[in-house]
Structures are given as C-alpha cells and as structure tokens.
Chains A and B, each alone.
Chain A
Amino acid sequence: EPEVTQTPSHQVTQMGQEVILRCVPISNHLYFYWYRQILGQKVEFLVSFYNNEISEKSEIFDDQFSVERPDGSNFTLKIRSTKLEDSAMYFCASNRDRGSYNSPLHFGNGTRLTVT
C-alpha cells in the first residue's frame, strides 16, 4: 500500500537555526498537510496546501513557518529560526479528494524535531 514518507526520522538542531522537514506524499494525492504533536499533547493542525498554495493555516503557523512543494514529489516544512518550543513530532499527511469527508488523511511516520 502506498504511504507517506518523511525524512529525517529525527532532527536535532540548535535554537535559532533553520530546519527543513521533508515529506513525499502519496503520488496521486493532491492535498497536503503538516501536523505536529508536542510530547504529551494533542496532534495539532499546522497548515494545508493545495495547488501550490496554502489553503488554511492555524494560529501556530506564524511567519517562522513556511511550506513548499519544490518539485512534483516533495513537500517541505521550513522553520526559519527554531525555538525550544518547536520541539515536537511533525507529521506530514495527504489525501486524494477534496476534504476529509471523502478520503481520510494518510499520515507519515513523523520527524521528531529536538531543539536544544
């Protein structure tokens, strides 16, 4: 079964550094998302992306965050200047049809980001 793949599985960075988290969504999916889960907390929505632009973003997704689909397969999340509180598991997700009504989100295994 096709799956969403994320790299790296674990990223350690120093506060203030830029990080890029990478994802390869399922090939015939058109809608892409980033979620995150701080240890012990809920899985939280960050951003959705369709047709090369952001469709929706949460209040967490501030100017330090950006997303990009640089080619036909990758979907990236960039954090410009990391803070300690950005430490979390970041999940990429995708789905095929418009909205979760028709097709549920498929999640990757996540990238654990540790900011020191």
Chain B
Amino acid sequence: DQQVKQNSPSLSVQEGRISILNCDYTNSMFDYFLWYKKYPAEGPTFLISISSIKDKNEDGRFTVFLNKSAKHLSLHIVPSQPGDSAVYFCAAADRGSTLGRLYFGRGTQLTVWP
C-alpha cells in the first residue's frame, strides 16, 4: 500500500532556515490532507491540514502547499527551530471514507540544528 509516499526519510536543516517536507500521493480520490508531527514516545500531533479546494494553507510558521495535478504536497516551516525536530507524517483521506480513515506516509525525520 503506497498510496501516500514520503520519499525522504530524513532532513537536516539549520535553525532559522526553511524546512521543506514533501509528500506524494497516488489516489485521486484523496481530497483532504494533513500533516502530523510525532516526538519519540508520543502519539502523532495534528499540525496543519488542507482540502483539495485550496492550494495553500498557512498557520504561523507552517504552510502547506497542494499541487493537485502533480498529486504532491509540501510542508514549509519558516523559520525552523530546534523544537521542530520530530518525525513528520503526511496523511490523506478520501471522499469515500468520512469517518477518519487516514492513509499515512512513512514519515520524514526532521532535525533542526543550532
């Protein structure tokens, strides 16, 4: 099951710079996308979402971009902070499942160094 792919298992960024995390999907039925952050020994924490009617959603330092034609989304974190170091999961939901079935990518470990 490779419906949601995060091809970069890790990303290392200097504090203050931009972090860009990428995600691709294959299922054209997906119409809602979310990013979750996960620290060790904790569950995933919701970060930001976007529906397919938009191409951008911004919340503070976090912006998610959606390119439907390319079936690609990205999460931008500006400026990056050491506390942002975590695993970031991209997740997607489709129209046929209205009750919270999310399809996750494998995650990208972000490390922000001072």
A residues near B (Cβ < 8 Å) are 4, 6, 31, 33, 35, 41-45, 48, 50, 55-56, 58, 91, 93, 95, 98-101, 104-110
- How many residues of chain B are within 8 Å of chain A by beta carbon? 26
Q: Judge whether A105 and B105 touch: CB under 8 Å.
A: no
Given known A-B contacts A45-B101, A100-B34, A101-B32, A108 and B93 have beta carbons under 8 A apart: no
Given known A-B contacts A4-B43, A91-B44, A99 and B100 have beta carbons under 8 A apart: yes
Q: Judge whether A109 and B99 touch: CB under 8 Å.
A: no
B103 within 8 Å of A (CB atoms): yes
B69 within 8 Å of A (CB atoms): no
Q: Note all chain A residues with C-beta closer than 8 A to B36.
A: 107
Separation of A61 and B85 alpha carbons in the complex (Å): 33
Q: List 15 A-B contacts (CB under 8 A).
A: A31-B100, A33-B101, A42-B104, A42-B106, A43-B102, A45-B101, A45-B102, A99-B93, A99-B99, A100-B102, A101-B51, A101-B93, A105-B46, A107-B36, A109-B42
